[in-house]
Chains A and B, each alone.
Chain A
Amino acid sequence: MDKEKVKKIVLDIIAEIAPDEDLTDVKPEIRLRDQLDLDSMDFLDIVMELRKQHGIEVPEAEYRQLESLDSSAEYLFPKFEAKTVV
């Protein structure tokens, strides 16, 4: 697992919940909301899918850590790491 893989996981989830979005040119450093049409309902879905598919929990207070792909990778990477160790 590396941070690029985490970004790929998040992008795959977005592709699943928002199949109509073009994800070919998503800039990792820019807020997802500013380049894609995602609202708070969609971010909830990202969180729910992280739990469902990967057993990763994101508490509500930390939802905004997922605002860009870069910040998602920073925030989620240790969580994925912790899982693989176990």
Chain B
Amino acid sequence: MPEAHRKPEALDGQHYDVVVIGAGMAGMASALRLAMFGKSVLLMEKHYVVGGLNSFFARGGRKFDVGLHAVTNFPPKGARKASPLVRLCRQLRIPFDELSLSPQSFSRIAFPDVDIRFDNEFSFFISEVERLFPSEKDRFQNLLRTMETFDAYSPEVAGDVSARSILNEYLKEPLLIEILLCPTCYYGSAVENDIDFASFVMLFDAIFRQGLARPFDGIRRLLDPVLKKYEELGGKRRMNLGVKRIVTKNDYVERLELENGEQIFASHVISTCGVVETERMLSSPAQDESPYDVGRISILESIAVFKKQPSDFGWEETIVFYNNAEVFSYERPNELTDPNSGVICIPNNYRYPDGKKMPEGQLRVTCLANYDKWVALDEKTYRSQKEICRKAMLDVALGYLPNGKSMAKELEDRTELLDVFSPRTIKKFTGHLDGALYGSPRKSRNGSTRFDNLYLAGADQGYVGIVGAMLGGVAIANNRILRGD
């Protein structure tokens, strides 16, 4: 690298070793790693809160998590060391216990004729699969062995192999294939009706082989120690200020132009904005952008807060992935939302320490939504449609909770607060074009771009889940910047 090009003189503190664009999970993790080893780092965030998709917001005096249903990869007892989450903690030098994670009770995948349970004991999930699909026993074991030896986290792994096609090779029961795709797609697929095999393995392990957990205080419990440590190490952070243009010269990034007109110089730039979003910020964008590069998967999520514990309704489960047809449909709906399939999350139903209980019940329902339809609405219709869609979603979702339908009236009577966030909200928090929940179907696993000192991290690296996103950020910091130093 021609270092002389990179460090113009007399920049009055406007030069950094690394600028990280986007303070989501990947951006924060990479920024912390770099600050840990003495790099001068600037973390830029367009929004006024950190976390990206895994952020939080306040309504009615309560704080809610945006994307967090569960922290995946919760290591089973005795197998702590091999867990990606423990590796992540080690890389960030944050003690695992500091995250105060509490495990789920149990969760379900519910299809018309099959309701399968899982908890944080992987053997229980296997026995459930074998019980409900006895003819698949050997083939399922074969699949598990293949996945076990597959290094989903390798930066060199192909990111475009269809999990559906691999599952079809291994398994014969179409319903089992759909059941395996449903939770994995919902928790991290950027492509419609499928998921790339590497992400599938990563999420399968994250959800089933390891498990689901949540800190009592929600996502801030994860964000705070990372930010605190970053700032203690001298890392700089600027909020509410976007990068307008990434100015390139030949094969490298020369400087960043901020929305307020400031110029920032950096030896390295890590962009977590997304592959297409980053491309569009470049002063010399590529001409080969395809309309298929913008992700189509977005969501509507409703949150109901009510004066009762969910267990008093008889709801003990933590997460329910449901689909009311034999075939799992994971695609942008033609309507505003598709209430026929979705994810229920009941954050009360994690096993918090000492039987600690959240003071109010919470029921979150998430369904796929059409970004274009939502942004086309005027404000008044937007508000009324949020309510109409929320009700339609809840109506279907309650059918997947024990006696849910008959509790509908009481739930409504006891509801204290309702909130709905739409693809528009997702766009605001993540900056992803079209409110694409998991970014673009086009992934860059090793973070390479056309420019020597510009790397991609985050959603479009194809590492999924909170732990995946952060490990992806760590990998970019390690492999692209620290290692070659």
CB contacts (< 8 Å) of A60 on chain B: these are: 483-484
Distance between Cα atoms of A16 and B36 in the complex (Å): 13
B454-485 residues at the A interface, CB under 8 angstroms: 474, 478, 482-484
Q: Is B93 an interface residue (CB 8 A)?
A: yes
Q: Is B249 an interface residue (CB 8 A)?
A: no
Distance between Cα atoms of A45 and B33 in the complex (Å): 10
- A44/B90 contact (C-beta < 8 A), A20-B80, A20-B81, A52-B37 known: no
B154-196 residues at the A interface, CB under 8 angstroms: none
CB contacts (< 8 Å) of B474 on chain A: these are: 41
Partner of A39, one of B38, B87, B93: B87
Q: Is B133 an interface residue (CB 8 A)?
A: no
Distance between Cα atoms of A59 and B53 in the complex (Å): 38
Which chain A residue has the least Cβ–Cβ distance from B86? A20
Q: Is A42 an interface residue (CB 8 A)?
A: yes
Partner of A37, one of B81, B91, B93, B482: B81
Distance between Cα atoms of A20 and B96 in the complex (Å): 9
Whether A41 contacts B93 by the Cβ 8 Å rule is no
Partner of A44, one of B82, B95, B478: B478
CB contacts (< 8 Å) of B484 on chain A: these are: 60
Distance between Cα atoms of A42 and B474 in the complex (Å): 12
B34-89 residues at the A interface, CB under 8 angstroms: 37-38, 80-82, 86-87
Binary per-residue interface labels of chain B (195-209) against chain A in the complex, 1 for a CB within 8 Å, 0 otherwise: 000000000000000
Whether A44 contacts B482 by the Cβ 8 Å rule is yes
- A41/B91 contact (C-beta < 8 A), A48-B482, A52-B38, A60-B483 known: yes
Distance between Cα atoms of A18 and B95 in the complex (Å): 10
Whether A17 contacts B81 by the Cβ 8 Å rule is no
- A18/B38 contact (C-beta < 8 A), A37-B81, A41-B478, A44-B482 known: no
- Give chain B's interface residues, CB within 8 Å of chain A: 37-38, 80-82, 86-87, 90-91, 93, 95-96, 474, 478, 482-484
- Give chain A's interface residues, CB within 8 Å of chain B: 16-20, 37, 39, 41-42, 44-45, 48, 52, 60
A-B CB contact pairs (8 Å), 18 listed: A16-B93, A17-B93, A18-B90, A19-B95, A20-B90, A20-B96, A37-B82, A39-B87, A41-B87, A41-B90, A41-B91, A41-B474, A41-B478, A44-B482, A45-B91, A48-B37, A48-B482, A60-B484
